[in-house]
Amino acid sequence: MTATAEPEIGKARLRKEDARLITGQTRWTDNLQLTGMLHMAVLRSPVAHARITNIDVSRATAMPGVAVVLTGEDFAAEQGSLPCAWPITEDMKSPPAPAMAVDQVNFAGEAVALVIADSAYHAADALEAIDVDYEDLPVVLDMEEALRDNDLVHPDLGTNKCATWIFDSAEAGVGTNVEDEIASAEVVIERTFRQQRLIPAFMEPRSVVVDTTAGMFTVWSATQIPHILRWMLSAVTGISEHKLRVIAPDVGGGFGGKLQVTPEELLCLLVARRMGRPVKWTESRTESMLSAHHGRDQIQKITLSARRDGTVTGLKVELLADMGAYLRLVTPGVPILGAFMFNSIYKFAAYRFVCTNVFTNKVPTDAYRGAGRPEATFAIERMMDELAVELGMEPMKIREMNWIKHEEFPFNTVAGLTYDSGNYEAATARAMELFGYDELREEQARRRSSGDVVQLGIGISTYTEMCGLAPSRVLGALRYAAGGWETASIRMLPTGKVEVITGTSPHGQGHETVWSQIVADKLGVPFEDVEVLHGDTATSHKGMDSYGSRSLAVGGTALVHAADKVLAKARTLAAHMMECDEADVEFASGSFSVRGTSTVRSLGDVVLAAHVAHDLPEGMEPGMDADATFDPDNFSFPHGTHLCATEVDTETGMVRISRYVAVDDVGTVMNPLIVDGQVHGGLAQGIAQALYEEATHDEMGTLTTATFADYLLPCAADLPAFLTDRTTTPATSNPLGAKGVGEAGTIASTPAVVNSVLDAVRHLGVRDIEMPMSPERVWTALQGRPDPGAGDVAAGGLGSIDAQGGQS
Amino acid sequence: MIPAEFKYLFPSTVDEAVRMLAEEGEDAKVIAGGQSLVPVLRMRLAAPTALIDIGGLTELTGVRDDGDSLLIGAMTTHYEVQRDHLVQDHALLLRLVTDTIADPQIRHRGTFGGSLCHADPAGDLLAPVLALDAVMIIAGPSGRREVPAAEFFVDYFTTALAADEILVDVRVPKYTGWGAHYEKLNRVAQAWSIVAVAAAVQVRDGTISAARVGLTNVGSGPVRATGVEEALIGQPPSSEAISEAALRASSGDGYKDNLARVLTGRALTAAVAG
Ligand SMILES: Cc1cc2nc3c(=O)[nH]c(=O)nc-3n(C[C@H](O)[C@H](O)[C@H](O)COP(=O)(O)OP(=O)(O)OC[C@H]3O[C@@H](n4cnc5c(N)ncnc54)[C@H](O)[C@@H]3O)c2cc1C
């Protein structure tokens, strides 16, 4: 069924997007210049919790180029509340979330005033001339302290507790009672882990342009979710949805950080409406770190029960999840996405998950690559190692004896999901072989016995995750406000070229390439003849956008269905053209033929015939376009085995990854190059959580990591060469057999690294080290001293300059 | 990240630059490679009214042989230092240090003199320049003066330069044939040193005849580890002697104190081996 000898699906094609994205010769939001455009700059609160007693804009208003200076008072009547689409419980506390603070600020970085000027320079200059008086309120930063309700983030709510969400296997009828399992267990292990606060750190800062020309509101935004954004902006502002057009042009990364309806998007829209002129806002890196949502930030208390032979029985998870100061689009639901994954690949009899969401005076948290699943995977993979240590068992053995065997699929889990397929044995065997597991264990033993300064550790992560978000009925049951389907259209053009319209919204993933490969194979047209349109609500009128490793499994399936519709219609017309019975029509390599004859019509001929419509079968509509929308029945469940070897310098605490093997099973692979790229990037982010990244605040609630000098991101030079391979167990929930690969690397790698470092130093008396495992933290643990915190020796790229407080 | 407004001046001689500095007053600043100053401006941590760009002063670029010492022009880029034969032959330590600074883009713009004038205690060139007994040659309204490195570094981001002075050259005595090493601990490739140790050692007839050791980022400026240097003189270049001497790099029990000792040991071991 292909025009080329080689099938497109499975081909390691370079991305058609690469040239324009890498050279920057494309349309990023900030590149847009519209006639008469104004520039918006945002004054942000330097304090985390305070009443605004006065704002004096008179000096700023008089500055050169300034059109107007606006404060929260100016928007109070029209700004409404930013949406939260995931009220996880009926009684969830949800404070109003103004785009701009009116009389109180609740986190440092919250918008308090806007300058609208004729240039970005003038706007930035005038910000400094706005005088704001703050009356400090007590700052709530620590979750456990917050729950005592001594000081309240939102006094009107009467508590800092946002919601408690519970899943219990006994209550759900899918398992036994966890308290019974714990009470009767031979071994009980209880540990507390901290998921530090992370910053998504997409490369392209956020940018918004709003144009009100010709009676339409056109919003360009560096967003992952143009469709959801349009819906939500309409809901918040009352601007009719059909008068709003949202365009996500090329977008430079998101990692969940652009899965948001941001204050600045709303403010730009309100300002453009007020001024009747185009308005642009583009943030600086520091602004991004101070105000775009953060990720993770949980305290995880985990209790695991087992038998002495290593069989796990019960798992109890008690989470505290930091919401920050407001509930953004899916803030409260992020930890809940992890609820289904703590049991992972293991056969627990009983499971209970209790998550308490907590308000603090910090930037709101929300989706960040993996969203809920990295936290779950980290906790369970750390616990499996703890159990192995407790019982003196080999950590891979203890996993193997507890995981679901490949012949047991489909498998109903203790968290109420059905895993459709998987083969943990195969992925693990391949990973152990690539890694040289046994040889490294020998090397480790040698270093231990010789007391080598540099100790070797081996870390395991046998993970699974859920992606392909999501069956709409499941989302409904979880009280999520939207569906999880995806849509695709195929437009067959008269010259035989093909336009594909997708509801997914790529921001670096390469959908244009893979969608073209799928269509090229299905329709037998050359890869180059397919153009993929996305991210503009005027061309792609519906869609649920890109996040949750959903685009291929859900959006790709919609595309397959649309292609099937094109072919079905084309077959009817081909039969008509070739004057034969439809049952005798065969389709191969882009051509229809009559079985057993030499009569042939190319798809292009048939498409043209449909287009000119001179001679169509009775009742057939002209044209050969098709739409399809797909709502999955189930999630998909990538899995795999990651093995990490680290060398830990016991004298300095420095950790170096000496080998990293990732064998992932992401189902059928469309383009191995893109899959490898996703895995590599995912590993970098997961490893960075283990070793480098952490958003920290001082006691006043000021973010002390507001530049890339303080917030450490690794680059290629800091990461090892990754050895990646795959096993392929197709997903059964979609015709492509694809599972999803956008988040797997991030989900799997963090515990592999942490387990590895602990494995290197456990014999020296170290039981745990908090993330990120900085050299100071590792060394301090080796001295048997308490955790030093993030420390003052982060030492990034600005030397001793402290971006917040001047030169220290 | 937009700096406040400033006036931009581009002198073509040192004298002109010094005159401009005097004319523009306290709030004027020299800009060399801009690799430290530009971030500071963009974050509005500083807002000089005028920037005097000394990038056009070709007389400040390059390394010259001056008999017993080298003269390194303040505007010589890190990249040029890395590739200079005089530096390689007579001040190997400086090349090894420079190799570890930032990344290639930054090394192409950042300058030797700029690093010293910026005086960030985490900056890598301060400790070696101090340890090597370099002398700063400074131009001001009343002519030139020379300041030894030990007096040049005053405090965090503070040097002996007056507001109307410019660093012109750095005189570095020749350390021909000395072994050298820079042992730097940083977390990611483009990050600054948590602690680093610069060591240069002269071994004659199986005995350490002279040693220079400087510590990066253990205080408000570079630190000369004189105790370590003294303990090494007359010792064999053995691991015992080095370990013993390295203990004198710091007496505290904090993390950085530990690093000072460990990294000193490693730097010396590599220096005597090379
Ligand atoms: C991401 C990043 C990573 C870095 N990593 C490191 C590192 O690991 N190690 C390290 O040592 N450095 C590092 N640097 C800094 C780099 O070495 C700079 O080159 C150096 O700090 C300053 O040199 P410059 O020529 O850029 O000076 P500028 O930024 O132009 O000036 C710095 C200061 O010195 C003053 N000044 C400059 N030249 C003179 C002169 N001739 N006379 C009087 N005053 C003068 C300026 O007025 C200014 O106050 C890094 C920089 C960046 C951006």
The CATH number covering residue B185 comes to 3.30.390.50
pLDDT tens readout for residues A176-195? 999 999 999 999 999 999 99
The yes-or-no answer to whether A18-22+485-630 and A420-467+635-808 have a common fold is yes
- Give the closest of A120, A795, A799 to B187, CB-based: A795
Closest ligand 1 atom to Cα of B111: 25
Q: Are A364 and A154 in contact (CB under 8 A)?
A: no
Can you tell me whether residue A658 is helix, strand or coil? strand
Tell me whether residue B111 is in a domain.
yes
Residue A185, amino acid = A
Residues B68 and B166 in one domain: yes
For chain A, what percent of residues have pLDDT higher than 90?
96
Instruction: Output the pLDDT for position A789.
Output: 85
Tell me the residues of chain B between 62 and 101 that have a Cβ less than 8 Å away from chain A. none
Contact A712 B262 (CB under 8 A): no
Q: Which residue in B has a C-alpha nearest to residue A803's C-alpha?
A: B43
B90-93: list long-range contacts, CB under 8 Å, 24+ apart: B90/B172, B90/B174, B90/B175, B90/B176, B91/B132, B91/B172, B91/B174, B91/B175, B92/B175, B92/B178, B92/B180, B92/B200, B93/B128, B93/B131, B93/B132, B93/B175, B93/B178, B93/B180, B93/B181, B93/B182, B93/B198, B93/B199, B93/B200, B93/B212
Confidence of residue A3 (pLDDT cuts 50, 70, 90): very low
Tell me whether residue B1 is in a domain.
no
Tell me whether residue B2 is in a domain.
no
Tell me whether residue B76 is in a domain.
yes
Q: Please identify, among B115, B148, B173, the residue that sits at the C-terminal boundary of a domain.
A: B173
pLDDT at A562 over 80: yes
pLDDT tens readout for residues B187-239? 998 899 999 999 999 999 999 999 999 999 999 999 999 999 999 999 999 99
Q: Domain A420-467+635-808 classified CATH 3.30.365.10?
A: yes
Instruction: Output the pLDDT for position A790.
Output: 80
Tell me whether residue B240 is in a domain.
yes
Tell me whether residue B73 is in a domain.
yes
pLDDT tens readout for residues A465-495? 999 999 999 999 999 999 999 999 999 999 9
Task: Beginning with the edge strand found earlier in the chain, give each strand of the sheet holding B223-224 in spatial order.
Answer: B179-185, B195-204, B207-216, B223-224
Q: At what angle do helices A437-450 and A424-435 cross, to 10 degrees?
A: 50
Which tokens sit at B205?
């007839």
For chain A, what percent of residues have pLDDT higher than 70?
97
- Rounded mean pLDDT, A16-45: 96
Residues B185 and B169 in one domain: no
Instruction: Output the pLDDT for position A806.
Output: 38
Which residues on A lie below 8 Å from B44 (Cβ)? 128
Q: Are A467 and A548 in contact (CB under 8 A)?
A: yes
pLDDT tens readout for residues A763-800? 999 999 999 999 999 999 999 999 998 865 544 445 66
Interface test with A, best of B38, B184, B255, B264 (most A CBs within 10 A): B255
The answer, yes or no, to whether ipTM is higher than 0.90 is yes
Confidence of residue A71 (pLDDT cuts 50, 70, 90): very high
Confidence of residue A4 (pLDDT cuts 50, 70, 90): very low
Residues B109 and B166 in one domain: yes
Residues B70 and B164 in one domain: yes
CATH topology of domain A18-22+485-630: Aldehyde Oxidoreductase; domain 4 (3.30.365)
Interface test with B, best of A290, A652, A655, A710 (most B CBs within 10 A): A652
Q: Are A637 and A409 in contact (CB under 8 A)?
A: no
Residues B72 and B169 in one domain: yes
Q: Strand locations in A453-546, DSSP E?
A: 454-464, 486-492, 498-502, 530-533
Determine whether the shortest distance from the Cβ of B157 to ligand 1 is under 6 A.
no
- What span, in angstroms and rounded, lies between the C-alpha atoms of A662 and A675? 12
Residues B136 and B110 in one domain: yes
Q: Whose CA is nearest to atom 28 of ligand 1?
A: B34
How many Å lie between the centroid of ligand 1 and the Cα of residue B34?
Answer: 6
* CATH number of the domain that residue B46 is part of: 3.30.43.10
Determine whether the shortest distance from the Cβ of B81 to ligand 1 is under 6 A.
no
Confidence of residue A807 (pLDDT cuts 50, 70, 90): very low
Residues B199 and B254 in one domain: yes
Tell me whether residue B133 is in a domain.
yes
Residues B214 and B245 in one domain: yes
Residues B222 and B251 in one domain: yes
pLDDT at A712 over 70: yes
Contact A652 B263 (CB under 8 A): yes
Closest ligand 1 atom to Cα of A709: 1
Determine whether the shortest distance from the Cβ of B221 to ligand 1 is under 6 A.
no
- What span, in angstroms and rounded, lies between the C-alpha atoms of B183 and B204? 23
Contacts of A2 (CB under 8 A, 6+ apart): A8, A520, A521, A524, A589, A590
Residues B218 and B240 in one domain: yes
- Rounded mean pLDDT, A413-430: 98
Residue B105 sits at the chain A interface (C-beta within 8 Å):
no
Contact B40 A801 (CB under 8 A): yes
Which residues on A lie below 8 Å from B118 (Cβ)? 799
Residue A539, amino acid = T
Of B119, B101, B120, the closest CA to residue B110 belongs to B101
Closest ligand 1 atom to Cα of B30: 47
Confidence of residue A6 (pLDDT cuts 50, 70, 90): confident
Which domain does B133 fall in, by range? 62-173
pLDDT at A379 over 50: yes
pLDDT tens readout for residues A132-162? 999 999 999 999 999 999 999 999 999 999 9
Of B7, B18, B13, the closest CA to residue B41 belongs to B7
Determine whether the shortest distance from the Cβ of B190 to ligand 1 is under 6 A.
yes
Q: Please identify, among B19, B35, B55, the residue that sits at the C-terminal boundary of a domain.
A: B55
Instruction: Output the pLDDT for position A801.
Output: 58
What are the extents of the domains in chain A? 18-22+485-630, 420-467+635-808
Identify the burial level of A235 via C-beta atoms within 10 angstroms of its C-beta, where 0-12 means exposed, 13-18 middle and 19 or more buried: middle
Total number of domains constituting chain B = 3
Contacts of A265 (CB under 8 A, 6+ apart): A208, A219, A221, A223, A229, A233
Can you tell me whether residue A509 is helix, strand or coil? coil
Instruction: Output the pLDDT for position B1.
Output: 74
Residues B154 and B108 in one domain: yes
pLDDT at A805 over 50: no
Contact A796 B194 (CB under 8 A): no
Determine whether the shortest distance from the Cβ of B77 to ligand 1 is under 6 A.
no
Q: Are B172 and B91 in contact (CB under 8 A)?
A: yes
pLDDT tens readout for residues A337-346? 999 999 999 9
User: Can you tell me which residue has the tokens 């253990």?
Assistant: B218
User: Can you tell me which residue has the tokens 């090597």?
Assistant: B132
Instruction: Output the pLDDT for position B251.
Output: 95
Tell me whether residue B100 is in a domain.
yes
pLDDT tens readout for residues B135-166? 999 999 999 999 999 999 999 999 999 999 99
Contact B188 A718 (CB under 8 A): yes
Contact A651 B262 (CB under 8 A): yes
Q: Strand locations in A505-612, DSSP E?
A: 530-533, 585-588, 591-594, 600-602
- Rounded mean pLDDT, A408-437: 98
pLDDT at A808 over 50: no
